[in-house]
Structure 1
Amino acid sequence: MNWITAAGAIAALCSMVSFVPQAWRIVRSRDTSAISPVMYSFTVAGFALWTLYGVGLGEWPLIVTNSVCLLLASFILLMTLLPQAEKDAMADTVDPDA
């Protein structure tokens, strides 16, 4: 593996993992008051477009990385937009012990 491939793999891993703590915090606390729905809307749109770009180029690293980030960012956005009762129900589905 050359350094370019290694750098790309590490960057992809960092991008994907970066959303997990935020998503897990939301599941555990059910608090999204500090999250901007406008900012996350742009984030979700960006990942959707990067995924489409990867599909257009046929580049699976772009497709996989941005699809995972799209799913995690979409979850965070959804939890931010849901009313509290629905947010609680979704969090209970993801982690019944919370």
Structure 2
Amino acid sequence: MSTAAWIGSLAAIISVASFTPQAWKIIKERHTQGLSAFTYVLTCVGFTLWISYGVLRGDWAIIVPNSICLLLAAFILLLILLPEQKTEQVARAVDPASDA
């Protein structure tokens, strides 16, 4: 594997991993206080553009991780925009064992 491929793979893994703790924290704590909806809107737009760029280039190494990141960021954005009671319902559906 080339150096560029290693760096790209590492970047993809770290990018995907960076959103997982935030999503899990929301599920565990059942709230999104302090999170910026605007930040997550921009993040989703950015990932959508990266996916488009990857499609235009035919580069799956760009498409796949950015698609996963878009799903995680969109999930977080949805939970930010939902009323608190709905956020709790979604979190409970994902992880019923962590009722706080």
Aligning the two structures, in what range does the TM-score lie when normalised by the shorter sequence? Answer: over 0.9
CA RMSD in angstroms comes to: 0.7
Structure 1 counterpart of 2:27: 27
Structure 2 counterpart of 1:68: 68
Q: 3-state SS of the aligned residue for 2:97?
A: coil
**Shift in Å at residue 39 of structure 1?**
0.8
User: How many residues matched?
Assistant: 98
- TM, length-normalised to structure 2: 0.95
**Shift in Å at residue 42 of structure 1?**
0.3
The CA distance in 1 between the partners of 2:71 and 2:91, in whole Å, is 16
The CA distance in 2 between the partners of 1:55 and 1:3, in whole Å, is 23
For 2:33, give the aligned amino acid. Answer: S
Structure 2 counterpart of 1:42: 42
Structure 2 counterpart of 1:89: 89
Are the equivalent residues in 1 in contact too, given 2:54–2:60 (CA < 8 A)?
yes
**Shift in Å at residue 2 of structure 1?**
1.5
- TM, length-normalised to structure 1: 0.96
Q: Gaps spanning 5+ residues in structure 1: where? A: none
Percent identical across equivalent pairs? 47
Q: Gaps spanning 5+ residues in structure 2: where? A: none
Structure 2 counterpart of 1:15: 15
